[in-house]
Structure 1
Amino acid sequence: MQMRHAVHVGGAESMEMHVVGPTLQDVAAEAGVSVSTASRALSGGKVKAATKRVVLEVARQIGYKTDLDDDLPTPGRTGNIALLATDIQNFYTVDLFRSVVLEAQAVGYRVFLADINITLGRDQLIRGILDSSDGVLVAAPRIGDDDIRRLFDPKTTVLVSRRVDGFSSVAMDDSSGMFQAVRHLASLGHGRVAYLGGDDRSRADARRRQGFEDATEKLGMESLVLGPFEPSFEGGVNAADALMMEDDVTAVIAYNDLMASGVLNRLLERGVKVPEQVSLVGFDNSMLAQVSRPKMTSVAMRQNDSRTALQMLMAMLERNGSDDYVFEPETASATESLIVRESTGPAPKE
């Protein structure tokens, strides 16, 4: 590669030298592209994502600087992906983050995690993260459809466990998982079952509650819905106290594993045997369900949703740099299955 240097010599009292570094033509030649393509890649214009990465890497290696900035701009290629969630203490969020990090790092991305379940400063937080990220996964957001459309770019966003018109998404079939849980309890002879609801702002809770009511009606079971409760261990403790005030309930399904663990702990504290007196089912099939004693029966949802969502986002970002790319939102459904463990058993005999 040939570098050009310009030298200007002044009068006898002064001599000034200006050294011009690598030029746009140098970048284009090293990258094997035209000057116009290199220019678009460096200015955020439309080029293939793979081409943009090559041009940016060449520019870094040879020390190319733009006239507008001392630092090399990297529009659309920060190497970062954001995962935005509404409940980072939930074991589902922890499992999701771990899966996304492993998948993203394998293809050269870093992952930011942020909790957007706040009111003050939420929009500023989101915009700041988006400015530093190439794309974003938004997991089970408790914000309205209009706010999602206002805050996020459909071309660089994938929703997880949520569907909004115009956005790509990976959504769960909560009704299928709930039906499997209710049918399992019916097969064990339980006739009166309860659902312990989570946050009443949660769309997942609304879907599970409706699935519970539909399943119990179809199977001819008596149902009881209690809540809403905080979707946490403490919320599960409170839900168990409410449950103890009801008669003849021999089985219960909790909104998530974290709540179910609180229910389990409180029932055992009060001398109620699980599953001999009350059977218990959670949702998420998190690590918590596997390490509790007794081990909890749980609906295994979102087993591959993180991988599916990330792959969908990667494909969107890759196509987004193409000249002929026309964005079309995609949707995918993640299947659920019931994992039976020690916390469910036959209904107690009269």
Structure 2
Amino acid sequence: MTEQHNRPVLEIEGLRLAFPVYGGEISALNDVSLRVNAGEIVGVVGESGSGKSVTAMMAMRLLPDDSFIIKSGALRLLGTDVVNASDKQMRTLRGARVAMIFQEPMNALNPTRKIGRQMCEVIRLHQKISQKEAEKKAQNLLEEMQIGDAAQVMQRYPFELSGGMRQRVLIAMAFSCEPELIIADEPTTALDVTVQRQVLRLLRRKARSSGTAVLFITHDMAVVSQLCDRVYVMYAGNVIESGATEEVIAHPAHPYSIGLMQAAPENGEPRSELKAIAGTVPNLAKLPTGCAFRGRCTHGDAQCQQSPALSPLTVESLYIHSQQQVACWHPQREAAEMTQEPLR
């Protein structure tokens, strides 16, 4: 990896965040640490309630200021201390240097304005170019997203486009100001498998060609296997496993990661029932002591009543330069290789 690609664009270190509620608080993030380097595509995967979207929203400080409490930790976005940054500092980062792709494009796009007008407004807000230049750039971006009739699409309203087309528009808008980092919060969840794969391929191709880093939030391990260079697995507000995608996908070490892999349709046998992870995510207002997963784990014992730290695997790795880490007292090395081939 080059020195340029070793430069972090997003650093989160030991972040603990809670939401105050009547009679207590919700522990949304518990000692979360992750890093995205320039030009990398990094995935964050986990069930609903694991803290993925909170991490993404906090990275751009999109949570209302009076809605959360930072217990400890640090968060730096392109060198800026997000926790203590002023609103003006954050506005200079959002859009121009860091962009976000949301899960539901129909909610993210203004239904009363045509696509071209919305794209041009975003472009001209962050770049000093003419309306004509902005229109040309918007059309070129749509064409890069393989929208054949880009000029006509610019004259349409969001409700006149399919879900896949709207998502391509959002991706084009995210790249329009040539950001250093894009945070994508489950942008393909509502799409069918075929369209999803097309959108992922376009996102990966555009990110690679522009050198833009991507933090991709998803609950789908198959998406991670197709798109990401590295992956963080989250559970109950904790990062419980991390490493190179091919390593974590092929040989997950945490029992929760193994459960996610076994529950993926790609790994199931024809006409057989998929294996589901028993139980549910614990109540974040009353987290259990020790490992948060121990109530659902088949390997749990008395030692699991103490919280394990995220640390390098102690068992022999199958990779010479392994950087896989796991927060588990009894890590496994289970072969669960995905059958889907990576995107090109």
Larger Rg: 1
TM-score (norm 1): 0.28
TM-score (norm 2): 0.28
Q: Which has the higher contact order (CA 8 A, sep 6+)?
A: 2
More helix by share: 1
